[in-house]
Copies of this chain bind each other. A is one copy, B any other.
Amino acid sequence: MSEAVVTSTVNHQFRLASRPVGMVTRDDWEYTTEPVPTPGEGEFLVQNLYISLDPAMRGWMNEGRSYVPPVGIGEVMRALAAGRVIESEHSGFEGGDTVIGTFGVQEYAVSNGAMVMKVDPELAPLPVYLGTLGITGLTAYFGLLDVGALKEGETVVVSGAAGAVGMVAGQIAKIKGCKVVGIAGGPEKCEFIRTELGFDAAIDYKSDDIRAALKEHAPKGVDVYFDNVGGEILDTVLTRLARHARIVICGAISQYNNDGPMRGPSNYMSLLVNRARMEGFVVFDYADRYLEAIIEMAGWMNAGKLKTREDIVEGLDNFPETLLKLFRGENTGKLVLQVASE
């Protein structure tokens, strides 16, 4: 690894300028320029290389109670990132270390090391640590296996199936001996999950009749539905549950940019008829099991059973527009913004 050097004296940042109503717009962001900060005692300076773009970011922009506090107006937008330590006054980190942490949508950050993980870029490309071997993959892993209580031979449906979490969830379900049906938008994504990832079937929500396709591909009903999207797709899957089905509520990306209330699942009484449950989770609760999960997933990756895909866009300036790719369903795999070259 090359010796790390400060390559700039200025730090560009995206700060939250206003709380969006409906879809996020460019005006909700303020682009700021500051001097690169200097780490104090017990701190280090990190240069961000890759910034993780996640649907959850939309929730952090809203006011009000959630599983983490909202980003304050005027604050640098919260984001997970992979970076390199440039300068350290922290005994646990030294220049050149590659680290993952909540470093924000900016070029440089100062950290005290809390919740920062050192990673080895020789073992996996850095964007993978933000995706399949990071919080994204862990979300799929614990959501499916723990909340979904997946059992071999069951029929699993995953929405947002070509997205960062969905692609991992579907592959884990295959590894566990399930029949896996993915729901994704457009022929390329459907081809990707079927051919490259080995899903048993793909439903294109943009062109297929989802209910009819579920009847065809899940004729005995859906045992586990891993939901990333909410809205109409959730409502449709509710009509096709098997008895004792589990719906894992991982996200509801179709609803995050509503300017009115979220659409609730009108067909939720299917939970009663089918003795089924719908359950939410937050991956952070599994922190004490991250290591075991990552080791298992890394093993699957090495064995070629778990494939990964990243959608990398370059340039910090492109952050506002790139984030919208998530809500427009334009990314395949983990969406990452590269803000400096390795």
A: which residues have CB within 8 A of B? 65-67, 230, 235, 249-252, 255, 261-282, 285
For A252, the closest partner residue in chain B by CB is B269
Bound Cα distance from A66 to B243, whole angstroms: 11
Q: Contacts A261-B266, A264-B266, A268-B264 given: A276-B279 contact, CB under 8 Å?
A: yes
Chain B residue numbers with a CB within 8 Å of A255 are 269
Residues of B within 8 Å of A276, CB to CB, are: 279-280
B271 touches A249 (CB 8 A): yes
Least CB distance, A2 to chain B, in whole angstroms:
42
Give the number of copies in the complex. Answer: 2
A282's partner among B67, B275, B285 (CB-CB below 8 A) is B275
Given A271-B279, A273-B282: 7 more A-B contacts, CB < 8 Å: A65-B273, A249-B272, A262-B268, A264-B264, A272-B282, A274-B280, A275-B285
Within 8 Å by CB of A265, from B251, B264, B280, lies: B264
Chain B positions within 8 Å of A262 at CB level: 266-269
Which listed residue (B252, B266, B277, B281) contacts A263, Cβ 8 A?
B266
How many Å lie between the Cα of A274 and that of B121 in the bound state? 35
Of chain B, the residue at the smallest CB distance from A285 is: B275
Residues of B near A266 (CB, < 8 A) are 261-264
**A265 with B268: in contact, given A273-B280, A275-B282 (CB under 8 Å)?**
yes
Residue pairs across A and B with Cβ atoms less than 8 A apart, 29 shown, are A66-B273, A67-B272, A235-B264, A249-B269, A249-B272, A250-B272, A255-B269, A262-B267, A262-B268, A263-B264, A264-B264, A264-B268, A265-B268, A268-B278, A269-B280, A271-B279, A271-B280, A272-B280, A272-B282, A273-B280, A273-B282, A275-B279, A275-B280, A275-B285, A276-B279, A276-B280, A277-B279, A277-B280, A278-B279
